[in-house]
Amino acid sequence: MTNKIILSVKDLSVAFHKRDGSTYAVNGISYDLHEGETLGIVGESGCGKTVSSMALLKLISMPPGKIETGSAIYKDGKDLVALSSKELRLYRGREIAVIFQDPMTAFNQVMTIGDQMIEGYVEHFGCTRKDALKEAERLMDLTGIPAAKTRLKDYPSQFSGGMRQRAMIAMALMCKPSILIADEPTTALDVTIQSQILDLMKDIRKEFGTSIMWISHDLGVVAGLADTVNVMYAGMIVESADVDELYYNPLHPYTKGLLGSLPSTDIDNDQKRLKSIGGYPPILSKKIEKCPFADRCSEATDICRHGCPSLSERTGQHYVACFNV
Amino acid sequence: MLLVITLIVFLLANLMPGDAAMAMFGSGDGSITVEAIEQQRENMGLNDPVLVRYFRWLGQLLKGDLGVSQVTFQPVWEMIQLRIGPTLLLMGTSLILSIIIGVALGIFSAVKQYSIADYILTILSFIGRSLPIFFIGLIFVYFFALKIPVFPTSGMHSMGASGFADLLKHLFLPCLSLSILRIAEFMRYSRASMLEVLNSDYIWTARSKGIKERAVLIKHALHNALIPIITLIGINIPVLFSGAIMIEQVFQWPGLGMLFNTAVTQRDQSLLMGLCLFSAIIVLVSNLLTDIAYALVDPRIRYE
């Protein structure tokens, strides 16, 4: 990880405006991604972690989805939000590639793995099919798929789940992107395969120096992989810090609650039941005007119910959005 | 399967009031005596029990003989052969036309979901599906024969003419009326199928690779969306055949459908049986072809 910022997200808001009402999924998030950094994005289902990341490449249905005015995503000095779909296409797969959550559904079942791997490469580099297949073979080999050459001609249904996720990773690496968005790539896999995929991702980071945005609700996985962690809640980043700092010294009540809900491996621990955060996340049908966590927070005071805290720095590089910290 | 079909049809045909002998003489002017009709029945073997007649027919069939028409005394197979061409021409063009137009409109409508064009097409397809086929035919005859006689409304060729252009002109109306319902149906199904596919994960995967939206739609979406359409084509071949029976009558198209009508009105049982056997074979063959086509387009089926 270097100090060079390769992606800078400023005040990104995404909303879905449908006839029967709007959903404000992402509400003004800002963060920087450094070269070679692995950024963990954690939060519960529906907190906007996937939407906010897919919005970087406009990989959401638009309409009804809309990136609200005032949002900016800077990559190499260009604002991705302002680009036309044709210009943005040059970034998709080439600069920023995505590894999807479910390898069972993310592949087209009626096209060979090889053909799916090379189409982005051929599009971006304008090379021949043969050269592209050679590169695909090399990457499949690298991601640990045996007999890569023959497997390129296979269909997704002939691959096991773990192998498909490896192929998905190989596919994302085809164009040597500088950023990989990994959208819970291990959630759909069993634990053994999960750890193999995690090892593979660590190797890839070492070999390619790629920056990774790792979206997950699995705090354990993020702890083992990420350099920095953004905790998201109700479409906002509520806490952001270095991974060790965040796990050992959580400041936001929500982060504390999340970490407190993890089972302990300590046998002497007399804690009988896992703690949980009471209540439910807010329904995001209105713009956020007060602290979205106030209703579930034990430390909430009057000020929390009348205004929304913004993310601000406490100790070095540790950002929190809370009035009481 | 074929045996069961033929037996049922044979029994049903037998339930129709009247028979070939009566139809032959007509109910006419009373100059035909009951005895004469009875004599004719005896000659034609119509007085034998139903099952005896069925097995007699079946025995002939096993020797490859469909028998002769009870009215014209022409061999049934020859009559069918003579009419097969026009029907295949009508059905074939109609099927191809409805697949191309229907699927294209359906895909367009799905890609432009909730646009004005989509709404208009959906309403049109609803209307198209609701109109009975003979009604469409009659409306066409009314407009194009009586109001603006642009297209001929009966037969396959004009008197004395035999050119290709003349054939097309004659084909136009029957083919169009036969196709409207199909087009509506293909459109509805391909729209639904395409919409489902467009919401799948792998479409987003394809987009994330930075390939052109056209490539996403054609290479990824279309192929997957067409798989269920194959079933629809398979189902539609027999339906088209039954539609042809009515349309051929309306437009006097000299095909199997018209022959079928003649067979029914004249109580020509052997001709009717021949035609039913033939259409049953068409249904079974189209089902088989559907299954084969599935294996061709979907690798998941091929390898199982």
DSSP code string of A85-129? HHHHHTTBTTTEEEE-S-TTTSS-TTS-HHHHHHHHHHHHH---H
Q: What proportion of chain B, given as a percentage, has pLDDT over 90? A: 1
B118 and B235 housed in the same domain: yes
CB contact under 8 A, B205 and A107: yes
B219 and B275 housed in the same domain: yes
From chain A residues 241-300, the ones with a CB under 8 A of any chain B CB are none
B16 and B125 housed in the same domain: no
Whether residue A269 is predicted with pLDDT greater than 70 in this model: the reply is: no
How far, in Å, CA of B187 to CA of A153, rounded?
33
Contact between B277 and B179 (Cβ < 8 Å): no
Look at residue A266 in the predicted model and tell me its pLDDT. 65
Greater confidence, B146 or A159? A159
Look at residue A41 in the predicted model and tell me its pLDDT. 92
Question: In the structure, what pLDDT confidence band is assigned to residue B159 with cuts at 50, 70 and 90?
Answer: low
Contact between B203 and B213 (Cβ < 8 Å): no
pLDDT per position as a tens digit, A38-72: 999 998 888 888 898 998 888 888 778 888 888 88
Residue A310: name the closest of A259, A257, A252, A256 by CA: A252
Count how many residues are written for chain A: 325
pLDDT per position as a tens digit, B231-253: 888 888 888 888 888 888 887 88
Q: Is B142 part of any domain?
A: no
Q: Name the residue in chain B with its Cα closest to that of A168.
A: B205
Last residue in a domain, options B12, B28, B62: B62
B58 and B90 housed in the same domain: no
Decide if B207 touches A, using CB distance below 8 A.
Answer: yes
How far, in Å, CA of B50 to CA of B11, rounded?
7
CB contact under 8 A, A109 and B210: no
Last residue in a domain, options B62, B94, B110: B62
Q: Is B138 part of any domain?
A: no
- Average pLDDT of B137-144? 80
B90 and B217 housed in the same domain: yes
Q: What is the mean pLDDT of chain B?
A: 80
Q: Is B153 part of any domain?
A: no
Whether residue B15 is predicted with pLDDT greater than 80 in this model: the reply is: no
B195 and B109 housed in the same domain: yes
Structure tokens belonging to residue B94? 């109609």
Q: Is B234 part of any domain?
A: yes
CATH code: domain of residue B105:
1.10.3720.10
B128 and B7 housed in the same domain: no
B117 and B54 housed in the same domain: no
How far, in Å, CA of A113 to CA of A164, rounded?
9
- Average pLDDT of B144-167? 70
Decide if B110 touches A, using CB distance below 8 A.
Answer: no
Last residue in a domain, options B62, B91, B108: B62
CB contact under 8 A, A105 and B200: yes
Partners of A321 in the β-ladder: none
DSSP code string of B232-273? HHHHHHHHHHHHHHHHHHHHT--SHHHHHHHHHHTT-HHHHH
- Average pLDDT of A150-160? 87
Cβ-count burial of A46 within 10 angstroms (0-12 exposed, 13-18 middle, 19+ buried)?
middle
Q: Is B68 part of any domain?
A: no
CB contact under 8 A, A119 and B213: no
- Average pLDDT of B32-42? 71
Whether residue B183 is predicted with pLDDT greater than 60 in this model: the reply is: yes
Residue A106: which of B202, B219, B297 has the nearest Cβ? B202
Q: Is B148 part of any domain?
A: no
- Average pLDDT of A293-318? 83
pLDDT per position as a tens digit, B77-130: 888 888 888 888 888 888 899 899 998 999 888 888 888 888 888 888 888 888
B197 and B96 housed in the same domain: yes
Whether residue A305 is predicted with pLDDT greater than 60 in this model: the reply is: yes
How far, in Å, CA of B252 to CA of A130, rounded?
58
Look at residue B32 in the predicted model and tell me its pLDDT. 65
Domain count, chain B: 2
Q: What proportion of chain A, given as a percentage, has pLDDT over 90? A: 5
Q: Is B224 part of any domain?
A: yes
CB contact under 8 A, A92 and B207: yes
DSSP 8-state symbol, B43: H
Residue B128: which domain range? 83-132+180-302
Angle of helix A191-208 versus helix A161-173 axis, rounded to 10:
20
Question: In the structure, what pLDDT confidence band is assigned to residue B269 with cuts at 50, 70 and 90?
Answer: confident
B200 and B105 housed in the same domain: yes
Whether residue B303 is predicted with pLDDT greater than 80 in this model: the reply is: no
SS3 content of chain A, % helix, strand, coil (to 5): 35, 25, 45
Look at residue B213 in the predicted model and tell me its pLDDT. 84
Helices assigned H by DSSP within chain B: 2-15, 20-25, 34-44, 50-62, 76-111, 116-130, 133-141, 164-198, 201-208, 213-215, 223-251, 256-265, 269-297, 299-302
Decide if A119 touches B, using CB distance below 8 A.
Answer: yes
B14 and B126 housed in the same domain: no
B52 and B88 housed in the same domain: no
Whether residue B28 is predicted with pLDDT greater than 70 in this model: the reply is: no
pLDDT per position as a tens digit, A63-103: 788 888 888 888 888 888 888 888 888 888 888 999 888 88
Q: Is B108 part of any domain?
A: yes
Contact between B197 and B225 (Cβ < 8 Å): yes
Q: What is the mean pLDDT of chain A?
A: 85
Global ipTM = 0.85
